[in-house]
Amino acid sequence: MLDLIWLLPTFPLLGFLSLVLTGGSLPKKIVAVIGAGSIGLSFLVAAIIAAQFLANGEAHFIKEVWVWMSVGSFSPGFTFYLDGLSLVMMLVITGIGFLIHLYSAGFMLDDPSYSRFFSYMNLFVASMLMLVLADNLVLLYLGWEGVGLCSYLLIGFWYENPANGYAARKAFVTTRVGDTSMAVGLFLLFAQLGTLNIQDMLHAAEAQWAIGSGLAVAASLLLLGGAVGKSAQLPLQTWLPDAMAGPTPISALIHAATMVTAGVYLIARTHVLFELAPNVQLLVAWIGLVTLLMAGFTAMTQHDIKRILAYSTVSQIGYMFLGLGVGAYSASIFHLMTHAFFKALLFLAAGTVILSLHHEHDIFRMGGKRKQLPVAFASFLIGSLALAAFPGTSGFFSKDEILLAALEMEGPGLILWIGGVIGAFFTGIYSFRLVFVVFFGESKAHHEDKEVAGFSMAGPLILLMILSVFGGLITIPVQEVFNHGDVHEEHHVSAFMHGIMIAVPLLGIGVSYLFYMSRALSIENLMASSMAKSLHKFWFSGWGMDRLYQILFVNPFLFLARVNRADLVDRFYELLVQLTRIAHKMVAQTQTGQLRWYALSIAAGLIVIVSLGVLL
C-alpha cells in the first residue's frame, strides 16, 4: 500500500486536468464531486498509508516513480520520501484540504467560474503534496513554485478587479524573490555537496562542513530566504495581507493552513543545515520574534476581518519560526498543525460571516451577530480561544511547547521568551477584539442577515471546531526526524513562569473585554493624542513596509522601465543610421551635375596622385 503513495498528488492532478479540459462545461454538482472528491480520495489514501507506515515502525519510506532528469552527476527523480514529518504534513494538507474543498462547494456555489476555482484548488493540493513528499530539493522546488502559482491564480481569481490582480502579482513576485534565493541556495548546495537529494545532502553537509563554516551559513541563509518569502516573514511579509483579495476558502487553505507554512516545513526538513550555522538558526528565531510582534501590533489596528486574520497568521508563523530558531522543531510542526486547524476554522467562519453580510469586510460595520450567525459565532469563539492559546485548546499546547523551548534556551532565550509572551498578550487582544466587535454589541447592519450555511459549509466548521479544541491531544510522530538535539523531553520550568504563560493570553482577552465589550476603557481616549494617532497609522500600514518597498524597489524599477522604453541600445544603432545619412548627404552634395566640376576633380585628383607618386 505504501507503494501507492504516488496516488496522493495524482488524484488532485487528475481532478485538475478533468476540470480544465472540460473548460467549465460540467454542471456544478459534478464539478464539486470531482473537485472535493479527488481530495477526499487523497485523504483516504493518505490515512491508509499513514496507518500502515506507523504500524511498520520504519523511520522512512522511499518510492521512486521515475528519474526526472539525469545530467552528469545531477539526477533528481520523481521520488517520494515519507517520514514522520511528511506524514504529518500530508495528513494536514489532505485532511484540512478536503474540509475546505467541501466548504468551498457551498461557498462558491453562486460563482460563475465554479469549475475554474476547483481546478486551481486541485492543482494547489497536488503541488503542495509534491512539496512535502519530495525526496530531493528540485522536486520540492517544483511543488514550491507550483503552490506559488496556484496562490497567484487564486488571489487573482476575481480578475475583473485590477486590485485583485495587483495583490496576486505582488504575492507572486514577492515570494519569487525568496524562491530565487532558494534556487541559488540549491545551486550552492549542488556545487559544494554534489547532490540535491535531501537526506544525502544533509549527511554530506554534516560530514564536510564544520559548525559555523561560511558555506553552511551561506547555504542556510539562502534557504531561509526562500522560507521567509513563502511563509510571509520579515522582510518579505508584505504580500500576505493583500493576498486576502482571493476568495475566503483560499485564504483558509493556502494563506493560513498549508502554503504559508511551507517555509516552516523547509527549515524543519533541512534543520541539520541550520544547526551547522548556529547564527543563522538564531536569526530564524529573531525573525520569528520580530515578525510576530510587528504583525501583532498591526493586527490590533486593522478593520478588515480577513486582514486581521492575515496578520494573525503572519504572527503565528512567527511563533513557528521562533520555535525552529530555538531548536524546538517538533513543537513548531505541532503548532503548524494546530494552527492549520484553528486558522482554517477562523477563516471559514469569516467566510460565512462575509457571505451572510453580503461581502461586508469591515468589522465595525458588523456587530451583534451572535444570534443571527450561531455557527459562525461558535466557530469564531472556539477558533479565537485556540488562537489566543486558552488553556486546554489545541493552540495552548503547541504555543506552550514553543515558549518553553525558548525559555530553556541559553543566551537570548529569555528575551525570546519574553517577546513571545508579549506576542501572546497581543494575540489575546486582537483575536477577541474581533469576536467582541463582530458578535456582541448592537447590531449595525441594516438588512435582514441570515446565515448562509448548508451542510457542506457547516460540516467542515463543526469538524474543525472539534479539531481546534482537541487537536492538542494528538501526538505527532516526528521524534525520529528530529532525533538529535530536539527539545521535546521534560521541561524544567518553574511553576511561576508557567503561570505567566497561562495568564498572559487571558490578560489579553481581559483587556480586549474592557475595551470592546464592557467599554470600561475607551479607544477614543487612547487615540486622543496625536502620537497615538500617528502610531496607529504606522501600525495600520503594516509598519510602512509597503511604502518602503514601493520607494526602494518598485518605483526605481518603474522609473527605469519608463525612461528606457525605447531601448537605449537601439538609439545607438539609430545614431549609426543618422551618421550614415549625414555622410551620404555630404557626399551627395559634391555631385553637382556640373561636368566641368567633375573634370576639375579628376584633374586635381590626378595631379595629387602623380605628385604623391613622384615625391614619395
Partner 1 sequence: MILVILIAVLFVGGLLAWASERINPEYPRIISLLIVLLDIVLMFSLLGGDSSATWLVDLQTDWLPRFGISFHLAADGLTVLLLLLTGFLGVIAIGSAWGEITERTGFFYFNLLWTLAGVLGVFTALDLFLFFFFWEVMLIPMYFIIAIWGHENKNYAAMKFFIFTQVTGMLMLVSILMLAYSHYGQFGVFSFDYFDLLKVNTSGPLEMVIMLGFFIAFTTKLPSFPFHSWLPDAHSQAPTAGSVILAGVLLKTGAYGLIRFAVPLFPEASMQFAPIAMTLGAISILYCAKVAFAQTDIKRLIAYTSVSHMGFVLLGIYAWNEEALQGAVMTMLAHGLSAAALFMLAGGLQHRIHTRDMSNMSGFWAKVPKMSAVALFFSVAALGMPGLGNFIGEFLVLLGAFKANITITVISSFGLIFASVYSLWVIQKVFHGEYRNIDFDDSHLYDLNRRELIYFGLMMVGLIWMGMYPQSFLDLSQGALEGILASSQIVATAAVTK
Partner 2 sequence: MQSIPIEHGLILAGILFSLGLIGVLTRRNVVFVLMSLEIMLNASGLAFIVAASRWGHAEGQIMFLMILTLAAAEVAVGLGLIIQMYRRFNTVDINVLSKMKG
Which one of partner 2, partner 1, none interacts with residue 535, CB within 5 to 8 A by kind?
Answer: none
Q: Say which DSSP state 448 is in.
A: P
CB of 133 to partner 1, least distance (A): 15
Residue 67 backbone zone (phi > 0: left; psi -120 to 50: alpha; other: beta): beta
Which one of partner 1, partner 2, none interacts with residue 142, CB within 5 to 8 A by kind?
Answer: partner 1
Residue 580 binding partner 2, by CB under 8 A: no
Closest CB to partner 2 among residues 4, 599: 599
Instruction: Give just the sign of the alpha carbon dihedral 526, 531, 535, 537.
Output: positive
Q: According to CB under 8 A, which one of 520, 531, 561, 587 is a site residue for partner 1?
A: 561
Which one of partner 1, partner 2, none interacts with residue 160, CB within 5 to 8 A by kind?
Answer: partner 1
**Hey, what's the cell of 191?**
556545487
Which one of partner 1, partner 2, none interacts with residue 603, CB within 5 to 8 A by kind?
Answer: partner 2
Residue 67 binding partner 1, by CB under 8 A: yes
| Residues found in the chain | 616
Rounded Cα gap, residues 109 and 6, in angstroms: 31
SS3 134: strand
DSSP 62-129: EEEEEE---BTTB--EEEEEEEHHHHHHHHHHHHHHHHHHHHHHHHTTT-TTHHHHHHHHHHHHHHHH
Q: Which stretch binds partner 2 (CB under 8 A): 251-259, 480-488, 568-576, 584-592?
A: 584-592
Binding pattern to partner 1, positions 156-195, x when CB under 8 A?
Answer: x--xxxx--xx-xx--xx--xx-xx--xx-xxx-xx----
Which one of partner 2, partner 1, none interacts with residue 443, CB within 5 to 8 A by kind?
Answer: none
Which one of partner 1, partner 2, none interacts with residue 29, CB within 5 to 8 A by kind?
Answer: none
Which one of partner 2, partner 1, none interacts with residue 593, CB within 5 to 8 A by kind?
Answer: partner 2
Q: Say which DSSP state 82 is in.
A: E
- What are the counts of helices (DSSP H) followed by strands (DSSP E) for the chain? 26, 2
Residues touching partner 1, count (CB under 8 A)? 53
Closest CB to partner 1 among residues 247, 419: 247
CB of 597 to partner 2, least distance (A): 9
Burial class (CB in 10 A: 0-12, 13-18, 19+), 167: buried
Which one of partner 1, partner 2, none interacts with residue 587, CB within 5 to 8 A by kind?
Answer: partner 2
CB of 598 to partner 2, least distance (A): 9
Closest CB to partner 2 among residues 55, 595: 595
Binding pattern to partner 2, positions 211-240, x when CB under 8 A?
Answer: ------------------------------
Q: Say which DSSP state 327 is in.
A: T
H/E stretch holding 64 reads: strand 60-67
* Closest to 175 measured CA to CA, from 225, 221, 130, 125: 225
SS3 content of the chain, % helix, strand, coil (to 5): 75, 5, 20
Torsion, Cα of 212, 218, 220, 222 (10° steps)? 170
DSSP 461-487: HHHHHHHHHHGGGPPPS-TTTTTTT--
Angle (CA) 20 21 27, round 5°: 75
Q: According to CB under 8 A, which one of 29, 359, 492, 565 is a site residue for partner 1?
A: 565
Binding pattern to partner 1, positions 35-64, x when CB under 8 A?
Answer: ------------------------------
State residue 530 phi and psi, 5-degree precision. Answer: -70, -30
Q: Say which DSSP state 564 is in.
A: T
Which one of partner 2, partner 1, none interacts with residue 279, CB within 5 to 8 A by kind?
Answer: none
Q: According to CB under 8 A, which one of 29, 57, 69, 484 is a site residue for partner 1?
A: 69
Subset of residues 585 to 614 that bind partner 2, contact rule: CB under 8 A: 587-596, 599-600, 603
**Hey, what's the cell of 288?**
520569528
The residues, ordered by sequence, that sit 6+ positions from 393 with a Cβ below 8 Å of its Cβ are 342, 382, 385, 386, 468, 469, 472
Rounded Cα gap, residues 265 and 609, in angstroms: 84
Which one of partner 1, partner 2, none interacts with residue 498, CB within 5 to 8 A by kind?
Answer: none
Site residues for partner 2 per CB under 8 A = 587-596, 599-600, 603
Site residues for partner 1 per CB under 8 A = 20, 23-24, 66-72, 74, 138, 141-142, 144-146, 149, 152-153, 156, 159-162, 165-166, 168-169, 172-173, 176-177, 179-180, 183-184, 186-188, 190-191, 557, 560-562, 564-565, 567, 569-570, 572-573
